Structure 1
Amino acid sequence: MRTTQDPSTADCVFCAIAADGAPAHRVLADDAVVAFLDARPLFPGHVLVVPRRHVVTLTELPEADVGPFFARVRRIAGAVERGMGAAGSFVAANNKVSQSVPHFHVHVVPRNRKDGLRGFFWPRTRYASEAEAEGVAERVRAALADGG
């Protein structure tokens, strides 16, 4: 929860929204999350879901909070699709890089065919070989074995 003594949250706009200290068009607020319309939406109905607890990244979100948080994300995704009459949704989060506000958040964006978004927002590539792909997979498996 946001406190004025905590320097990590003192200037966090999402903590301010969660504490009713900043305006936002809320769609859900409970003990785990606050969800509100993005001020600069990709499409109408673009919602941000933020944990009430100030954490910068997904990896800082306490394990006990992960399930409740993503249960709300799931609920918001369904509501955005139904409420906006969308064919589907794009659900995504940045973790450090490209994070415009340093408070973990998930974007829920209503999607329809031919809406102008093309897959992901960056160019996709391929691994040069099966050996390169296996080497990358091994690096991730090793990191998981070391404590992840």
Structure 2
Amino acid sequence: MSEDFYCEEVLSGRTPVQKVLETDNVLAYHHTRPFYPVHIVTIPKRHIPSLIALDEGDNALIIEIMEIVKKVASQVVSEHGACRVITNLGQYQDSKHLHFHVVFGQPLHKS
């Protein structure tokens, strides 16, 4: 996998995705290779390497991202009764682009 799957594949349109919610700055879509029965990814459309790479100039964007994550999470909780919201950093972060996973259920694969 590339360093930034989201810019190189998803946002470029090379990998089609099933959109859940979208604004001018944020995209939420069903994971292309889900690890959970319900697995939705939310990303900024602008490249930001990770949560800890955000700066004060990104405050409006992070609020917008959190609004989308909240809407997606609310929808999953409404349909399934629960969810997790996950972001990864460092070696846990496969794609070096800020993203949040909204998931429900037990992992589909063993790591």
Q: TM-score range by the shorter chain?
A: 0.7 to 0.9
1:82-134 Cα shifts (integer Å, max 9, x gaps):
3xx312100010022211111110010024xxx47xxxxxxxxxxxxxxxxxx
Could you tell me which runs of 5 or more consecutive residues in structure 1 were left unpaired when the two chains were aligned.
Answer: 1-9, 117-148
Percent identical pairs in the alignment equals 27
- For 1:75 and 1:105, how far apart are their aligned partners in 2? 15
- For 2:32 and 2:12, how far apart are their aligned partners in 1? 17
Which residue does the alignment assign to 1:68? 64
Which residue does the alignment assign to 1:52? 45
Q: 1:94 aligns with which of 79, 88, 96?
A: 88
Q: Which has the higher contact order (CA 8 A, sep 6+)?
A: 2
Displacement of 1:25 in angstroms is 1.5
SS of residue paired to 1:108: strand
Displacement of 1:22 in angstroms is 2.2
**Do structure 1's residue 43 and structure 2's residue 39 form an aligned pair?**
no
Against the structure 1 CA distance between its residues 22 and 31, is the aligned structure 2 distance closer, same or farther, given a 3 Å change threshold?
Answer: same
**Do structure 1's residue 13 and structure 2's residue 18 form an aligned pair?**
no
Q: Are 1:56 and 1:96, in contact at CA under 8 Å, matched by a contact in 2?
A: no
Q: Are 2:28 and 2:42, in contact at CA under 8 Å, matched by a contact in 1?
A: yes
- For 1:93 and 1:102, how far apart are their aligned partners in 2? 11
Q: 1:107 aligns with which of 85, 98, 101?
A: 101
How many residues in Structure 1 have an aligned counterpart in Structure 2?
Answer: 103
The two structures, once aligned, show a CA RMSD in angstroms of 2.3
Larger Rg: 1
| TM-score, structure 2 normalization | 0.78
SS of residue paired to 1:65: helix
Q: Are 1:35 and 1:50, in contact at CA under 8 Å, matched by a contact in 2?
A: yes
Q: Are 2:3 and 2:96, in contact at CA under 8 Å, matched by a contact in 1?
A: no
- For 2:51 and 2:64, how far apart are their aligned partners in 1? 13
SS of residue paired to 2:29: strand
SS of residue paired to 1:97: helix
Could you tell me which runs of 5 or more consecutive residues in structure 2 were left unpaired when the two chains were aligned.
Answer: none
Displacement of 1:11 in angstroms is 6.8
SS of residue paired to 1:21: coil
